[in-house]
Amino acid sequence: MKRKTLYAPSLLSADFSNLHDAVERIHASEADWIHLDVMDGRFVPNITFGPKVVADLRPLSTLPLDVHLMITEPERYAEEFISAGADYLTFHLEATVHAHRLVQKIKERGAKAGVSIVPSTPVWMLEELMPELDLILIMTVNPGFGGQSLIPRCLEKVRYLKQAAQRDSHDYLIAVDGGVNRNTADAVRRAGADVLISGSAFFKASDPREEVRRVRGY
Ligand code: DX5
Ligand code: ZN
């Protein structure tokens, strides 16, 4: 079954002193989800925000909140982010030993479970988790900062995941994060991505609605 491609603006490139405006911009753009990058200064060399920001944003939108944890030991904070209103909770395979246990816990608590891998992690490392996952997020830059260029080789992973899903009837959505913009979007969509995450290009765009349409392809 062909799914509609979804566009998820990443708040990382928003003005953090005015998140209200950022959410309004997302609503006006007709984007599908809101992507929230949580960074701890350990798993990645940058720090952003914690569950309170997610909880404060929750009443401002009915769009799904897609929380991307770039933190070590994500199991310590998963429940807090779900209580704060995360619809999708994605953590990094590289950040915990017991990824399978954490996926179960996220689903038991009523959220959708996602796992992400950085560019240096081979995609087959996800094999055992594939039947359990609601979302797989392929990082197409090294996580930590917005505004980097997409690493084309990472799209091979997207193709692999698409084929695996078709072959083995897996249900996960494939999300791509890092360097997605109107110049790279075609290749990302053709590789098989279901969710296109974009930060700097979205917040720089003079017409965000047009940007979303161009990137999403409709
Ligand atoms: C990077 C984050 C991304 C980031 C993408 O570590 O996970 O979500 O916002 O930014 P752009 O679209 O500028 O590459
Ligand atoms: Zn992200």
What tens digit of pLDDT does each residue of 36-79 get?
Answer: 999 999 999 999 999 999 999 999 999 999 999 999 999 999 99
Please tell me the predicted confidence (pLDDT) of residue 3: 86
Q: Inform me whether the pLDDT recorded for 107 exceeds 70.
A: yes
Pick from 206, 182, 193, 181: nearest CA to 10: 181
| Structure token pair of residue 20 | 């209200």
Q: Give the whole-number percent of the chain exceeding pLDDT 70.
A: 100
Query: Ligand 1: which atom is nearest the Cα of residue 198?
Result: 12
Question: How far is residue 198's CA from residue 132's CA, in Å, rounded to a whole number?
Answer: 26
- CB atoms closer than 10 angstroms to residue 192: 18
Cβ(154) – ligand 1 distance below 6 Å: no
As residues whose CB is below 5 A from the ion ligand 2, the structure lists 37, 68, 177
150-203 pLDDT, tens digit each = 999 999 999 999 999 999 999 999 999 999 999 999 999 999 999 999 999 999
Query: Ligand 1: which atom is nearest the Cα of residue 202?
Result: 12
Q: How far is CA 11 from CA 37, 82, 163, 180, in A?
A: 7, 18, 31, 14
Distance from residue 167's CA to the centre of ligand 1 (Å): 30
123: helix, strand or coil: helix
The residue count of the chain comes to: 218
Site to probe by mutation for ligand 1, drawn from 183, 184, 197 as the one with most ligand atoms within 8 Å of Cβ, is 197
Q: How far is CA 189 from CA 4, 7, 130, 163, in A?
A: 11, 11, 20, 14
Cβ(54) – ligand 1 distance below 6 Å: no
- Compute the mean pLDDT over every residue in the chain, rounded to the nearest whole number: 98
CB of 121 within 8 A of CB of 149? no
Q: How far is CA 119 from CA 50, 80, 139, 196, in A?
A: 24, 28, 6, 17
Distance from residue 177's CA to the centre of ligand 1 (Å): 6
Cβ(142) – ligand 1 distance below 6 Å: no
